[in-house]
Amino acid sequence: MARQKKTAHGSPQRGRRKNTAGAGEPRPDAGRTESRREDIHLINAAIRGDQAAYKELMKKYRDSIFNLIYRIIRDREQVEDLTQETFVKAFGSLRNFNREYAFSTWLYKIATNSSIDYIRKKKLQTMSINKPISHEDSDYSFEIPDSTYEPDKFIIQRQKLKIIAEAIDQLPPKYKQVIVLRHNEERDYSEIAKILKIPIGTVKAHIFRARELLYKYLRERIPHY
């Protein structure tokens, strides 16, 4: 009888130890869920005008976006520009972000589209036109579509360039000069810093702010910009 009591009493104890261990195991999606929750918190704060939230979002995803674009473009300075452009566009459209999707996936899409636009404009052959690109931190992937010759595109492009030139002319002088040196004269950051006698960090900050102002101006004048 004593043995039966011990066995009967021991079974539930073993069951409790098993359940406790199972409860302590981390769920596979826990980290991703927490990251998305953090993103939503930062996005809400950024929409309210919290500059620190913008900085946190950029700090969190800058390296991933830079690496993604670098796999497409292979030009570090141009990748730097496109990385900035990605965040400018994202921050300018935060209110339109669909929260059913991951913020990282949305950023990757913006980065990809910016890279594709750059490739089309420069007619670079940096990769196979049909080769898909995927990012290791996301399920997101894309393929660069083949472009066809359409005469109307040249007319539209000329109109866009005119509007962009008007937008640049309206920038404050300190922002206008860095944009002109960077994009019109295609100077690198170190050259711009020497010409203007300011630190490279200041050059990058001015370019980032100039692009924010240009993006807001152009969104109102160019459909689907």
List, for residues 112-149, the tens digit of each pLDDT value.
Answer: 888 888 887 776 444 433 444 454 444 444 444 444 44
Handedness of CA 166, 167, 173, 177 (dihedral sign): negative
194-199: average pLDDT: 91
Domain-located, residue 1: no
Most confident among 6-15, 20-29, 35-44 (mean pLDDT): 35-44
**Residues 91 and 44 reside in one and the same domain:** yes
- Identify the bridge partners of residue 141 per DSSP, sorted by sequence position: 134
The confidence score (pLDDT) of residue 154 equals: 55
The DSSP annotation for 132-177 comes to -EE-TTSS-EE-PPPP---HHHHHHHHHHHHHHHHHHHTS-HHHHH
The confidence score (pLDDT) of residue 149 equals: 45
**Residues 104 and 121 reside in one and the same domain:** yes
**Residues 50 and 138 reside in one and the same domain:** yes
Indicate the pTM of the whole model. 0.58
The confidence score (pLDDT) of residue 225 equals: 53
Domain-located, residue 12: no
Distance (Å, rounded) from C-alpha 134 to C-alpha 138? 8
Comparing CA positions, the residue from 30, 202, 49, 32 lying closest to residue 103 is: 32
Comparing CA positions, the residue from 60, 8, 54 lying closest to residue 34 is: 60
